[in-house]
Amino acid sequence: MSDGRFGRGWRLGWLIAAGALYVALAAYQLGLPGLHYDEAKEAGINALELLNGMPVTAFRGATLDVAGLRLPLMVQDYIGALNVYLALPFLALSGVGVPNLRILPVLTGLAGLFLVERAVSEWVARGRSERTSEGRRLATQISLGGLAAVTLLAASPSYVFWSRQGIFVTNLMQPLCSLMIWQGLRWLRTGRRDALMLAAFAAGLALYAKLLAVWVIAPFALLAAGWWAARRMKGDPAAPPLSAGTVVAAALAFVLPLLPLALFNVQSGGTLSSVLQNAGRSYYGVNNLAIVDNLGVRLSQLVQVLRGDQFWYLGGSYANAIAPWLALAALAAGILLAPRRTLPPAGLLAVGVLLSVFTISDMFVTHYALLQPLAIAAVAVALDVMWQAARPSLKNGRAWRGAVVLAVALWLALDLSATLRYHGALSRSGGLSDHSDASYHLAYFLRHNGMGAPLALDWGIDAPVRFLSQGAVTPIELFGYASPEQPDADYATRLGQFLPNPDNVYLLHAPGRTVFAGRREAFMAEAEAHGLSLRRIEQFTQRDGEPLFEVWRAMPPE
């Protein structure tokens, strides 16, 4: 544990081993589960189109035209096109495929691990010694708290499986927010102008990746600004100088990555419209004024993410049942022993949870892919506090340190067990529902039977089929996005344009698997009204035999 050459080598070896464990778990059977709609929609399709010189289907038609190329600006109203451009070299070098696409988020997760270590180590250094030679030394070495954070993430089911499908949860936010925290704290400790610039740039880039990053960016900015202002008011030399020029430069560094978002709204107004329309009641019906109820949901999700039992769609549900209790005990002990060191990261997490009660979509547990690394970072800082407080020279010091080691080892072992059991379930199931590998067989069937323009009557079918067929099959989404609860008034009219042609093919989810309600029933009623006979020509099932996709034709009566 010493800070000599052996100590530094030992810590580096531990860091490398944890990273290798993560890569082994995250990269195993990378083609499973099946490609999710969001993975294809938010990276795969546009990357495929740009690589093959195909017309780009930009979200809301908003693009930046450069040398004849139409570059997409956003992939959703609140998600930037960053994954599209980062995926290009991986697909160009290795070809178009699901594992090829997922290499990007797996490496993003690896970068996230190392940046969490840097953020925690900087937090530990600043907490133990500010702007001193000891602080500088502590900040440059790998702290035990940083190693604890990496260890508790490397085998975590939540971290591993969300990283495998990281485009699905926009896991780019994780390393960017950790980079912001690391460099922001480094600026507070050293006063280095380049650290502030990098922190601001990382914050802007995280927001462009997904606006959800504001849950971490806003409270961290207030925390850093509050600490700086309080120290300056006291005349503390530890507070770094901040000139007007530095403030302007930092603002520009923050705004620069947000220019595509600004241009997108100039062209479409999509982000502003989406936020304003769903501010009171979200798209999926969440009441944003029901703060207490929403907070209860989010707190239960935080516990669930620590346990890791939310991955039912992998074919099972496995948990590290003691992880939430160990996290709570560590935070409580850290706050009691050193509140000034433990409360800032814990408070940052608490404010992030409070901000999460507001949503313009739904209370998806996947949103907490952003907060999980922060939660582990807060626990790791607390563990470092406990380790430093329980010096071997003190009474029972060795016993307390043994308890810390035992807690981390037990947490890691139970996480590893759950993750391996998930892999076993996944190899049997191939994924369930929207994550099923049945979509691979659907895309193959459509492509090799010449059904190049089927009509998708439900959400979740179009984007995976387009990517899996490498653009050979381009479904037309007819179901309408106006409401997930019922078809819009023009749905029947849209169907009526296609029903007279008996060669048209219609794609549906099987009964009980429908995502956007009412479309299936309206389709069948409209076909009957046109005097047509519906024939199901193919059905695709999950590996367990459960029907998932159906292919239909509407034929004149025999």
pLDDT at 4 over 50: no
Whether the Cβ atoms of residue 484 and residue 515 lie closer than 8 Å to each other? yes
Two structure tokens written together for 501: 């042609």
* pLDDT score for 156: 98
Tell me 95's DSSP state.
-
Phi-psi region of 102 (alpha: psi -120 to 50; beta: other; left: phi over 0): alpha
Per-residue pLDDT, averaged over 244-270, amounts to 96
Tell me 308's DSSP state.
T
Per-residue pLDDT, averaged over 9-16, amounts to 92
pLDDT at 18 over 80: yes
Give the C-alpha separation, 536 to 551, whole Å: 6
What are the residues facing 477 on neighbouring strands? 456
What are the residues facing 552 on neighbouring strands? 506, 536
What are the residues facing 547 on neighbouring strands? 541
Residue 149: closest CA among 286, 11, 267 = 11
Signed CA dihedral, 224, 229, 234, 239: sign only: positive
Query: Residue 125: pLDDT band by 50, 70, 90 thresholds?
Result: confident
Task: Report CA dihedral (208, 214, 215, 216) to the nearest 10 degrees.
Answer: 80
Give the whole-number percent of the chain exceeding pLDDT 70.
95
112-135 burial: b if 16+ Cβ within 10 Å, else e: bbbbbbbbbbbbbbbbbbbbeeeb
* pLDDT score for 350: 97
Give the C-alpha separation, 310 to 319, whole Å: 9
* pLDDT score for 7: 62
Task: Report CA dihedral (342, 345, 346, 350) to the nearest 10 degrees.
Answer: 160
* pLDDT score for 2: 44
pLDDT tens string 347-387: 999 999 999 999 999 999 999 999 999 999 999 999 999 99
- For residue 37, CA distances in Å to 44, 50, 97, 437, 528 come to 10, 19, 14, 12, 31
pLDDT tens string 514-531: 999 999 999 999 999 999
Q: What share of the chain is helix, strand, coil (3-state, %, to 5)?
A: 65, 10, 30
pLDDT tens string 403-452: 899 999 999 999 999 999 999 999 999 999 999 999 999 999 999 999 99
* pLDDT score for 1: 44
Domain boundaries, the chain: 5-429, 436-555
- For residue 28, CA distances in Å to 99, 158, 426 come to 10, 15, 11
